[in-house]
Chain A
């Protein structure tokens, strides 16, 4: 049994999505995260054990490599893709309560801004790290955020912007969230942002990349 989970960890870490995936070349003929998760469930390994003892450690390993400068955004993304292939088989267990996400993160690109590549990358990495991600899409205004927070009590919120003009919307959205949901933590990210800007608008953290964001969320 542990051997199967070790294989799954390795498949996710290397970004081996399924048997048909040509990558990584040295695992070309091997089962990927998709098949290995199905095998683990068939072997009566619980969804939670698969999540806790195989998938999350895999993403942690890739994240550590990223932190050491030994892996880059594409490595994070391909591992997240493999993780998501595994997570699809675990969805019924999340619905039944037999397995739990780490929590909920509501993310969106703020009103006036249509850039979503960065937000989508963060979304994939968060999902790969075991978070239930509620994506509000692009040009999301304050009402959308407030409605999502009301629907997912205890969630964390991520605001994304790529322009210096649209990042100003973050101040208003953060203030509205803090007024209605004072304990909700709001995080910001995007090319023009800085920790200074985060501090100025009273948000709870700025992260320059998805890995440091997920790392921080795990400490909360």
Chain B
């Protein structure tokens, strides 16, 4: 019987390979997607096009095969490292046998591009470019999640949702433990003492793997972080349009 192997992989997906939801960006701006003023809707399209030349997307994972991960009592154990994820995440990962650590980034040039708008006192474009960065990084994380999930299913294993330090009561300082498992500069991301990732438009996290693991519907109500991109892009009640 084939067994999942420990692997580390980095990918550089083209921006065109990712599914970008323009309506999510409008929702994050505060508007219903169908009612975003012409000015901003046009600017979103214009900046999305401009962004292509500054994006240097990288995403990757490290796989911990079944037998290398377990979760209980508010903790997730990867090999000999204990992650203090808190009860919420550990509860959702209680059936894991293995795991994947992942990162994704829009790249340093993208950070510089969006900062330039504020330097030029064009805060509207800067604000929208920031949301575009968030959308691309989340899309890159979706992309790598799908890759991990596809690989796991080829071994008859399931995958959990992805969870990141800083969300669902998992202390962001724990990001150091995740990065300790990755080669220095993995995906071009570095970590400051304060657990800040650079480039700033980056995400990291963990996905549980196991024969009895299933992905659940995404739910913001399990997390208490109010001012979060994912919460901002949840469709409002009056919002029916999809892209």
Contacts and interface: CB of A to CB of B under 8 A. Distances in A.
B155 interface: no
B195 A165 contact: yes
Nearest to A165: B194
By size class, the interface of chain A is: 20 to 34
Interface in B193-241: 193-196, 198, 200, 225, 227-228
A81 B194 contact: no
B39 interface: yes
A192 interface: yes
B67 interface: no
B161 interface: no
Centre residue among B39, B118, B172, B194 by max chain A CB count within 10 A: B194
B178 to A, nearest CB: 14
Contacts of A192: 166, 225, 227
Contacts of A166: 194, 196
B150 interface: no
Contacts of B121: 81, 84, 124
Nearest to B192: A112
A189 to B, nearest CB: 10
Contacts of B118: 116-117, 120, 124
A83 B130 CA distance: 22
Given A112-B194, A164-B172, A191-B228, A77 B124 contact: yes
Contacts of B172: 163-165
A182 interface: no
B54 to A, nearest CB: 16
B127 A77 contact: yes
B126 interface: yes
Contacts of B13: none
A113 B227 contact: no
A114 B198 contact: yes
A178 B171 CA distance: 28
A214 to B, nearest CB: 15
Contacts of B126: 117, 120
Interface in A56-79: 72-74, 77-78
A80 interface: yes
B30 A112 contact: no
A78 B127 CA distance: 11
B124 A165 contact: no
B124 A117 contact: no
Given A25-B39, A81-B122, A113-B196, 10 more contacts: A73-B29, A77-B124, A77-B127, A114-B198, A120-B118, A163-B195, A164-B166, A164-B172, A165-B196, A192-B225
Interface of B: 29-31, 37-40, 114-115, 118, 121-124, 126-128, 130, 166, 171-173, 192-196, 198, 200, 225, 227-228
6 contacts: A24-B37, A74-B127, A114-B192, A120-B118, A165-B173, A192-B225
The 7 closest A-B pairs by CB, nearest first: A72-B30, A112-B194, A191-B227, A120-B118, A77-B123, A124-B123, A23-B39
